[in-house]
Structure 1
Amino acid sequence: ENQVQGRLNVDSARSRAYAAYLQRQHDLFLTKMRQWIPEATVHHRYHVLLNGLALTVPAEKVELLASFPEVVEIFPIVEVFPESASPRARALPPLDVSHTLMGAEELWEAVGGRERAGLGIKIGIVDTGVDFDHPMLQDATLVPPPGFPKTNTSEGLANGKVIVAKVFQSVIDRQANLDARFRTAQDLNGHGTHVASCAAGNLIDLTGFPGARPVVISGVAPKAFLGSYRVCAPRCGLDSLLAGIEEAARDGMDVINISMGAPTNALLDRAAANAVSAGSVVVAAAGNDGPPPAETQNAAGGTVRSPANAQRVIAVGATTNAHQGAAASALGRVRLLEPPPPPELSELLGFRGLNGATPFPETALHAPLRDVDLIDNGVADGGGLACEPLPPGSLVGAIALIQRGQCTFAAKNQNAAMAGAIAVIFYNSEAGGDTFIAPGLGGAPLPALFLQRRTGLALKQFVDINEQAGRPPRVALERLDLPDETIVTLAIEPNHLADFSSRGPASSFAIKPDVVAPGLSSYAAVQDDDPRGDARFPVPPAVERDLQAPVYDPSGFAFRYGTSSAAPRVAGVAALLKQLRPSWTPDEIRSAILTTARRPPQLEARRVMDRGAGLVDMRAVARVLTTVDAPTHSFGAIRVRQTVTRRKTFTVKNHSTQLVTYRLSLAMTNTDPAVTATLNKTTFQVRPGGTGQFTLTLRIAASVAAGDWEGVISVSDDGTTIPGQLSIPFWVRTVR
């Protein structure tokens, strides 16, 4: 009686009665507590997703607070951060490229075309707010649903597109007595504006927008409503983030996107999971901490952050797009002067190094190009990385060609300088692939340029062949002949895992991330009113150091990257699937997105804890009519002293109107005779609207080595309800 169409109805008599009961219990507890801790201050109350309070109490009274029988757990209020990668690369490509990589056109067609994509669906953006005046976030053709718009300020910012304008300020900032103007629903930073536009920004032609790229872009679900919950005002606290998630669930958001996170936090994971139980699909950025080891590594060894850790949340990692772009002022080029190069090497573009002691040269540097591999390793086998001092005088007057990896760019640069080099050309490592970054030089002495891997390897081969033939190549390192503000697009290979994307397992040993989506390259909306971002209002120096870098461009559009940009794309996909299948539950929507994900060769070679189920495939999402109750499964970490057997039963639901015959197969993706997996059946039938089950049995012999083992179950039905096949990955860690 307190649910409507599978969603928690906070206005039902039962819900209101329970909320009133919790309020009374909170009041009784606070009256009792203040007799012993009169200094306690209440900042937030949680009644929907959590039963709790956000308090400040003197540090010496925390132990006393914990002694009250009503107190079950105490969590510190910590700061959380948006999941934008650090600004190593400044620019990346248009949204429409990522749409194509995910196969958006077919899902748009299934819901009536892009002009109807997302219509009637509400996506909550729990972030830094949105820029309500931005043209991507206004739509005069939309009429807010009954009960909207909703606000908790008197600013009147909500519009027909952004139907919620709320702000929640953390106790971290309340205690700092910051400028009252920070308590606004308006996005002062720009991060939330970018995220919102990736999920549901209007279709907009940027031709004629001063400073913008002349392209047509949109969010994944351009006709969806947006709810903005500003939880960074200006800093993001655990208490304000919890309040924003709870309010989004209370407001009935169909999808909630959280492009921020913290190291493993059980309370944050619990709130996000409860939002799923309340009827919202919750999508969260996996994080930008890359592979382990890392400072934020969890107890299971992964780097995925909360709330992406939560089992029923869709945790999203990031992949490369088909292009990267940058302003000409961020780029440089290498021209081979002699001997005559092949056409593909005549001019090579790359990203300039950042924060070096010497600016990138105003005029071209002409010099021999030397492969450091031949100097510090003796052979051109890729083993030379310039991480150790080079022979004195070995690079006098030359430009050094150095591969990325094993040590910092600053260390490589310094070693080249000590050997006499006048500049450095870096090229990407095998792990980094054909992407560009702007390498941080940390004050190192030489100007530098960074090339993608395939270009660097081709240049290396040319240098090595000619060096051995006694024709050392000469090159020119120079700026581009373009105005600084001109945006240049560079082609890269798509669908590679971004090196910054956080990896699993989750702290519970669950498979995370769940899926990946384009996040290395994101051209979308940003705030355009103040380049200072949150620092536009005066703050104490200690607070200013904690502020997030502004996401700003005077054109109102900019390139960004991070799992922050990947997650809202998947939130948009979830919104479209909710529009197409309105009766499906959040778990069924999650199943459809995960089990239909595809694994192109670049991702197939990765482990499941790197890329989850794979790249979101909107073509398959548009057609799938079968869901699985557990779209991935982890058997966890098992200490093996004798033969171990574990079983998992999966339930398959047929959402079609036809009798379906399902076929099953299984493959281990890394094999060992000591680890075997079997299925109890290879075919079974399910009636229309019905369910069926199958069981996976895992046997681990006592002789097994310590390690991680994984496999995948494939489900097909000759195309009746499944386009191609569904994939259900499973994983186990053996411990000796």
Structure 2
Amino acid sequence: RALTLHQIKAAWERLPDGSRAGAGLKIGIIDTGIDAKHPAFSGEGMTAPEGFPKVSSEAFLGATNGKVIVQRSYDALNRTEPSIVDGAGHGTAVAMVAAGGRVGSQFGEMLGAAPGAWLGAYRVFGGVAGDEGSTAALLQALDDAVSDGMDVVNMSLGFYPPYREAIDPMADAVKRAVQMGVMVVKSVGNEGPDIASVDSPTVAGVGITVGSVQNDRAFAEAVSTEGLGDLLAVASTGTRPAEPVRGRLVDITGADPSGLACDPIPGESLRGAVALILRGSCFFSDKLRNAEAAGAIAAVIYTHAQDPIPFTMDVEDARLPALMVGFESGRQLKSRLAESPSTDVQLTFFPTVAFPLRGTPLSSFSSRGPTLEARISPDLVAVGQFLSTAAGTAEPLGAVYDPSGFLVAAGTS
């Protein structure tokens, strides 16, 4: 979606082959590494340019291909175990946004801004979860990226509180890189909404600092039915089926006039159905156990007018899959059942259904200027909230991890 908001797709239409946008460009990602085995970086149809691949160890050659043409790691400077694995997943996510190839995901098709570009991985954060780094590693990585011939270098990293430019160890290195023709891009930081919250390292007034705006849609769980479309929902702490659950929606007031399901529900009145239950008077776990005992395959719990916003239900050890919807959505479902008692619903238990948002305001977490030198910052903003991208799959402790290889992320990176 961000590609459309930023007119990137419109720019592609001016090219002979938009899927090859960025061809010939080399983008260096100074970060936690890039997982070259991720399908977004398969390099299908691409060939590394002459003189590549470049690696910091012969052992890393297997982690390069026609797309990812550099794999350098700075474990000696960081005093971490030698590795090229992206333990955090952060670098993989950033690389997807910059130049990921066309790939399918649970959120739909994904494609980076410059899918035809080559990528260089400069892994400055090591350790199991990719959270151990050093200024020495950053300086060496920037020098290496320039020496390797990267056209653009991205540094989605930062330290807060910031240094003044005069004592920032990165300032001169960034200036030298820019003087040598390299475009240096850096995230402004995630210390907003306070003013003067831009983090270090500075790009010394010569690079490009980028902040985050909200996307015009967000992903969430949903209750979907004909006539009402997708209704925003929130999953419980309990069972979350990987695939959507489909079934006939039944308002339990036919068997339990209170609609609360706090007491046993007669017989098998909910056999094979999705139970519609009102919040209140007893524990969520009791409601779900009673619905399950009556034969329900799932439950939709709607909240009341006094507290109309849905939230995550703590269902303890109850096994019945359940979603919560808001008061207005619950009222709409009841009205739908009154009109059509045989209404079927689909329950999606993972945040893969898109819901529109109003406008694209600056993200609350995005750092604001001015800098300590009174410069305006950020220079640019781009979608960085409710953004679907690639994720790391190597380390569950990683900050940007999902076993599917994709997730919805937020940040100025």
Q: Could you state the TM-score of these two structures normalised by the residue count of structure 2?
A: 0.69
Matched, 1:217 2:110: yes
Q: 1:312 to 1:449 in 2, by over 3 A?
A: farther
Task: Tell me the number of residue pairs that the alignment of Structure 1 and Structure 2 aligns.
Answer: 320
Unaligned runs of at least 5 residues, structure 2: 238-261, 263-274, 282-302, 315-322, 332-344
Specify whether residues 246 and 450 from structure 1 end up closer, same or farther in structure 2 by C-alpha distance, changes over 3 A only. farther
Instruction: Provide the C-alpha distance between the structure 2 equivalents of 1:168 and 1:281, rounded to a whole number of angstroms.
Output: 22
What residue is the counterpart of 1:184 in the other structure?
83
Query: Contact (CA 8 Å) 2:99, 2:115: kept in 1 or not?
Result: yes
| Corresponding residue number in structure 1 for 2:293 | none
Q: Given the alignment of the two structures, is residue 302 of structure 1 paired with residue 196 of structure 2, yes or no? A: yes
Compute the displacement of 1:554 (Å): 2.2
* TM-aligned CA distance change 1:450 to 1:505, over 3 Å: farther
8 A Cα contact 1:130 1:196, kept in partner: yes
- Deviation sequence 1:674-704 (CA, Å, 0-9, x none): xxxxxxxxxxxxxxxxxxxxxxxxxxxxxxx
> What is aligned with 1:116?
20
Q: Secondary structure at the match of 2:138?
A: helix
The one-letter code matched in structure 1 to 2:201 is P
Distance 1:236 1:149 in 2: 24
CA gap of 1:353–1:554, structure 2 versus 1, over 3 A, is closer
Of 30, 33, 46, the match for 1:142: 46
Letter aligned with residue 257 of structure 1: N
- The one-letter amino acid paired with 2:70 is V
1:514 alignment partner, one of 379, 382, 391: 379
The 5 Å alignment of 1:505-654 reads 505-533=370-398, 549=399, 551-564=400-413
Deviation of 1:400 (Å): 4.7
Aligned-residue CA RMSD (Å) = 3.4
Give the match for residue 213 of structure 2.
319
Alignment equivalent of 1:201, drawn from 100, 108, 117: 100
Separation in 1, partners of 2:234, 2:385: 15
Deviations 1:156-201 (A, max 9, x none): 1111101000001375x52xxx5x3xx2122122111110011000
- Counterpart secondary structure, 1:303: coil
1:280 maps to what in 2? 182
Distance 2:324 2:378 in 1: 33
1:215 Cα deviation after fit: 2.2
Paired with 2:43 and 2:230, the residues of 1 have a C-alpha distance of 44
Q: CA deviation at 1:229?
A: 0.2
Q: Which one of the candidate residues 89, 98, 102 is aligned to 2:6?
A: 102
How far off is 1:238 after superposition?
2.1
1:366 match:
279
State the distance in 2 between where 1:348 and 1:145 align: 49
TM alignment of 1:238-387, pairs within 5 A? 238-263=135-160, 264-265=162-163, 266-292=168-194, 302-308=196-202, 310-326=204-220, 328=221, 349=232, 364-366=277-279
Partner SS state of residue 261, structure 1: coil
Task: Name the CA distance, whole Å, in 2 between partners of 1:147 and 1:347.
Answer: 52
Distance in structure 1 (CA, Å) of the matches to 2:200 and 2:397: 29
Distance change (3 Å), C-alpha of 1:277 and 1:351: farther
How far off its partner does 1:507 sit? 1.3
* Structure 1 residue matching 2:174: 3-state secondary structure: helix
The yes-or-no answer on 1:155 pairing with 2:60 is yes
- Of 410, 425, 435, the residue aligned with 2:309 is 425
Partner SS state of residue 484, structure 1? strand
The TM-score normalised by the length of structure 1 is: 0.40
What is the alpha-carbon distance in structure 1 between the residues aligned to residue 73 and residue 230 of structure 2? 50
Higher relative contact order (CA 8 A, sep 6+): 2
Question: How far apart, in 2, do the equivalents of 1:305 and 1:367 lie?
Answer: 46
Please give the secondary structure, in 2, of the residue aligned with 1:271: helix
What is residue 295 of structure 2 aligned with on the other side? none
Partner in structure 1 of residue 286 of structure 2: none
Is contact 1:122-1:253 (8 Å) kept?
A: yes
Deviations 1:435-473 (A, max 9, x none): xxx89x9xxxxxx9898xxxx9x99xx9xxxxxxxxxxx
Change (3 A) 1:311 1:503: same
Q: Tell me, which stretches of 5 or more residues in structure 1 are unaligned? A: 1-96, 207-211, 293-300, 334-342, 355-360, 369-396, 402-423, 427-437, 442-447, 463-479, 534-548, 565-736
Q: CA deviation at 1:332?
A: 8.6
Q: Corresponding residue for 2:31?
A: 127
SS in 1 for 2:30: strand
Cα-to-partner distance string for 1:104-138 (whole Å, 9 max, x where unaligned): 12322334331220111000000000111111112
